Amino acid sequence: MLDMHKEIDLSKVEEFAILAHKGQFRSNGRNYHEHVISVANRLRSCGISDKVVLATAYLHDVLEDTNKTEKDILDLAGPEVLEAVKHLTNKETGAKKNEALIAHALKYNDVAKRVKLADRYDNLVDAVFDWEPKRVRKYAHAGLLLLEAMQPLPADVLDFEREARRFIACLLP
């Protein structure tokens, strides 16, 4: 288990995420691990350097989309990261997925809120280029509902939230 006084090694966390998602691909055919790296980089571009937040960004889809366990995350990155990743894990499928996402978002801690904002934004950027317009609009609208459910967002991502809202507004009629 991670020593609570030991620093999170982000290079090990990133490597773990890359290996965990090995062989997985996004709908656009790109390697899935590129998404989690992009989410972490979007948070860095907001000035976030907190290792718990960045580790959560790398690991946010591990429980949902891989065979890695809670213990793997706990041993690698500690209890704060595990808690946030568990908040972000949504195993629902189909019509209930978005409903479950909103229910989870109402309970997110600030780490999960930061990561979900960057995750949704990154997904939406990809969607614009890869999905049919009707599906993009539906996803954008769901993104607005998600933003409302996550209120209040931490102060260090308020500019990013404004950017996300402007981006979404461009996609809706």
Residues labelled catalytic: 64-65
Q: Which domains does the chain have, with CATH numbers?
A: 10-171 (1.10.3210.10)
pLDDT band at 94 (very low <50, low <70, confident <90, very high): confident
Q: How far is CA 143 from CA 40, 71, 125, 150, 158, in A?
A: 19, 31, 12, 11, 15
* Window from 1-5, 58-62, 90-94, 109-113 with minimum mean pLDDT: 1-5
Q: Are 127 and 139 in contact (CB under 8 A)?
A: yes
- 98-120 mean pLDDT: 96
- 115-143 mean pLDDT: 96
Report the percentage of the chain scoring pLDDT > 90: 90
Supply the pLDDT for residue 2. Answer: 42
Cβ atoms within 10 Å of 44's Cβ, excluding its own: 14
Q: Are 14 and 60 in contact (CB under 8 A)?
A: no
pLDDT at 121 over 60: yes
Q: Which residue has the higher pLDDT, 3 or 115?
A: 115
- 13-20 mean pLDDT: 98
CA within 13 Å, CB half, 80: 15
Supply the pLDDT for residue 53. Answer: 97
Report the alpha-carbon angle 77-72-40, nearest 5. Answer: 45
DSSP 67-93: S--HHHHHHHH-HHHHHHHHHH-----
